Structure 1
């Protein structure tokens, strides 16, 4: 899709070759927030299933999902997400309006989308529409009912079994970014967010496949940062006026999601604090709970808790409660030890 430099096309567009610039005012920074989007996970996971070779980290999930989706009807959803991904209809990829949104809430909102909006978004798709998408355009109410049912069924089969782990990873990412911003300001918030994203002075730069434009945010909406597991290895921009613009990116630690353990334990550190504690620090590349660390390391939950308490007393880990879950993360002192 070619987008003139004087306008920014609404929607969700895969980043790549040229450059998108978002200029921030102080008010924009003040309104920048995080949110998790179940629909973003659905859409990006469909892309993973369609092109698993580009998403090697998720291959263990792909194998399970294909088995679980046998007999599940998700053809309309599949036809709406075409490869190569240039534009996904806005009504299927809304920028989250709340920091926490359940799939049930997202599906309910999807089912009552204004037919005018559906036809407007579908008109932006290039080429001839696939059969079921053409039916959706002809009869949006019936099509949306089918699409909502497909999204729910797809979610139940392919994502729901893994949602607690996915949610802990994204929540841990938000916690980590918030801590970075509290100590280093906006520059630290965007630091190492993604290889295609950089911050300089008051401008966020996003390497983009199809967009080459400089746009000043209006000072009234800021930006929504939406960590999304299945976005890996890409990053996506969103612009759905009048809502806040959004940036969908993979959280740190995605590589640990489907593996029992992939962390390398530094021998020198293990000799000083013990191999189990060194391994736990290595596993905390992204914040994690006691239960998840036990599953990844093979240690008992009680043993993990004992070691984490000792590491916290030594100033090497910190803990943060999110809902009913307590997440542990490495401190700066631990990061320094692991780097050295």
Structure 2
């Protein structure tokens, strides 16, 4: 199946990029539900799946709205208002979705899944009272984000931003048509049209607004996904460059120099936080007491080098982009 999106000069001029937290929520959750471990994300999935199972987030609202294949509810991916929106802004847009749009998209989900006569209690509640229920959906998304993506967001965002800057530079040097032709092997630019082959859902200019919104994603690989809503620019989520190296362990090259400033213990903790970890895990790996690790983490967090994320009854700590830059300078 091939989908064709026509472009005018104005559409090309309105083509833009955005990094979308909600696209990462949707694509990562779908990936975690797959029966086969994702080859590129096996290391991440092994850490995140047990947390979801303990909290039941793998069996909640997101499981209703994100099937393993096929159509996704479009209201989960509102049009980003800026190139780098925060999750809170996208959740506000989700909560403001009209009841008519929610019901129409739930009908499409149900029809595709063949469950018109067997809708779950959650599904019926969202259908009957979307204004009240969307708040529950947004709250679950926040909980999922905190468990699955926030501890890794510095690393993921760096990958996505690097892709945007690369594409922008390519567009400046070679033009937008050249960039569109290189997005993915299923996407082809052909004389004023963008052709998407092997597409499950058609995306055409007639049902969407002007321009095109291109969204790099860490979790959409190996395919592209589209969103087409009347009056809004069509969206195309594509695999970001370098995603195959996203979870590779990073060997700090400046640890000795950083230790001269922060001390050996705090530098060791930052080094261990290549993988988000709890205080107990860090204490065991670093050979320190839990109380000592906790004190160091407080200091590192106050300095903006570490973030904390609630995971059930425990807290996961993660390095920030500032800490990454300290341990591995850009020149390395």
TM-score (norm 1): 0.69
Q: Residue 15 of structure 2: which of 27, 32, 38 is its match?
A: 32
Are residue 166 (structure 1) and residue 156 (structure 2) matched? yes
After superposition, where does 1:144-183 map in structure 2 within 5 Å? 144-183=134-173
Please state whether the residue corresponding to 1:221 is helix, strand or coil: coil
1:67 to 46, 50, 61: 50
Supply the distance in 2 between the matched residues of 1:301 and 1:26 (Cα, whole angstroms).
51
Q: 1:258 aligns with which of 234, 244, 247?
A: 247
Does the C-alpha gap of structure 1 residues 225 and 70 become closer, same or farther in structure 2, counting only changes over 3 Å?
same
Among residues 225, 237, 243, which one is paired with 2:226 in the alignment? 237
Aligned residues: 258
Classify 1:109/1:218 alpha carbon distance in 2 versus 1 (closer, same or farther; 3 Å): closer
Paired residue secondary structure (1:55): coil
- Displacement after TM superposition at 1:50 (Å): 0.8
User: Match for residue 187 of structure 2?
Assistant: 197
Residues 24, 219 of structure 1: 8 Å contact kept: no
Match of 1:139 in 2: 129
TM-score by length of 2: 0.71
CA contact (8 A) 2:23 2:217 kept: yes
Matches within 5 A, 1:325-336: none
Partners of 2:178 and 2:50 lie apart in 1 by 41
Is 1:88 paired with 2:72? Answer: yes
8 A contact 1:39–1:92 mirrored in 2: yes
Question: Is 1:79–2:64 an aligned residue pair?
Answer: yes
Cα deviation for residue 77 of structure 1 reads 1.0
Q: Secondary structure at the match of 1:20?
A: strand
The separation in 2 between residues aligned to 1:236 and 1:43, in whole angstroms, is 11
Q: 1:80 to 1:220 in 2, by over 3 A?
A: closer
Q: Secondary structure at the match of 1:199?
A: strand
Aligned to 1:299: 253
Deviations for 1:95-149, whole angstroms, at most 9, x for unmatched residues?
3232121111112222232222211211112122333112211221332121111
- Match of residue 22 from structure 1: 5
Cα gap change, 1:134 to 1:245, in 2 (>3 Å):
same
CA contact under 8 A between 1:27 and 1:220: conserved in structure 2?
no
- Alpha-carbon spacing, 1:54–1:188, altered in 2? closer, same or farther (3 Å): farther
In structure 2, runs of 5+ residues without a counterpart are 258-320
Aligned to 2:102: 118
Relative to 1, partners in 2 of residues 1:157 and 1:130: Cα closer, same or farther, differing over 3 Å?
same
3-state SS of 1:145 partner: helix
Please list every run of 5 or more consecutive structure 1 residues that lacks an aligned counterpart in the other structure: 1-17, 261-295, 304-322, 331-340
Distance 1:259 1:45, change over 3 A: same
Deviation at 1:299? 1.8
Is 1:52–1:59's contact at 8 Å kept on the other side of the alignment? no
Partner of 1:314: none
Tell which has more relative contact order, 1 or 2 (C-alpha 8 A, sep 6+): 1
**CA–CA distance in structure 2, aligned partners of residues 25 and 205 of structure 1:** 15
